[in-house]
Amino acid sequence: TKSLVDGMYMIESGGFHGAAGLAILTAASRGAKVGNADLGVVADATDTVLKNFGQTGISATQVVNGLIATVAHGKTKMQDLSGSLSQILPTASAAGIGLSDVEGAMATMTGEGIKADQAATYLRQTLISLEAPSAKGAKALASIGLTTQQVADAMHKSLPGALALITDNLKKKFPEGSAAYLADIKDNSGGSRTIQRILDLTGTPQS
């Protein structure tokens, strides 16, 4: 009973009431049971997804199914994944990144052994760096024949597609995995902290 009350409190606090709130609670309860996680945390994550991507028509059940799939394909727990999403979802939604792309990126990075909260933080930094690159980043993109607008447009269609666009253009200029190749990724991604995340997301060999 306490778990249900805690879950409903988070849902009500998020602005979902009545039948809409009960639908979220029902779906979150299933996710919490499957993932052996705290209902309040899963309910809060479900609420956060719906607030940021509800305009796509996604239902609470689809949200929870997505969380379960992300856990299954990555290397994290429902509790940890649910608790990390508030760090990345608002940024991803504002940048026009699809929910499935975020979930795929989180599964990929946690699968590489990165903790869910760190993966969310690094992914947010990467999105910001690619959406609004520094002057150095814009220059690096130009050096491989890309504009910041091209990358932003590609991100709005598909995050993996945008990363592939960058790495494919890089391969035309530098041998994959070479020092120059990695240095250019660093410039494009905003620095040494996010270069590792680009490598994790693209499977780029490291030298």
| SS3 of 108-169 | HHHHCCCCHHHHHHHHHHHHHHHHCCCHHHHHHHHHCCCCHHHHHHHHHHCHHHHHHHHHHH
What does the alpha-carbon distance between residue 30 and residue 71 come to, in Å, rounded to a whole number?
A: 14
Task: Encode the chain (207 residues) as per-residue pLDDT tens digits.
Answer: 677 777 787 778 777 778 888 888 889 899 899 988 888 889 889 989 999 998 999 999 999 999 999 999 999 999 999 999 999 999 999 888 999 999 999 998 899 888 999 999 988 988 888 887 778 778 888 888 889 889 888 988 888 888 888 888 888 888 877 887 777 777 766 555 556 666 667 655 444
Give the separation between CA 73 and CA 53, rounded to whole angstroms: 21
Q: Does this model's pTM top 0.85?
A: no
Q: Contact at 8 Å (CB) between 84 and 109?
A: no
| Other Cβ atoms within 10 Å of 176 Cβ, number | 12
- 62 DSSP 8-state letter: H
User: What pLDDT, on the 0 to 100 scale, is given for residue 207?
Assistant: 46
What's the full length of the chain, in residues? 207
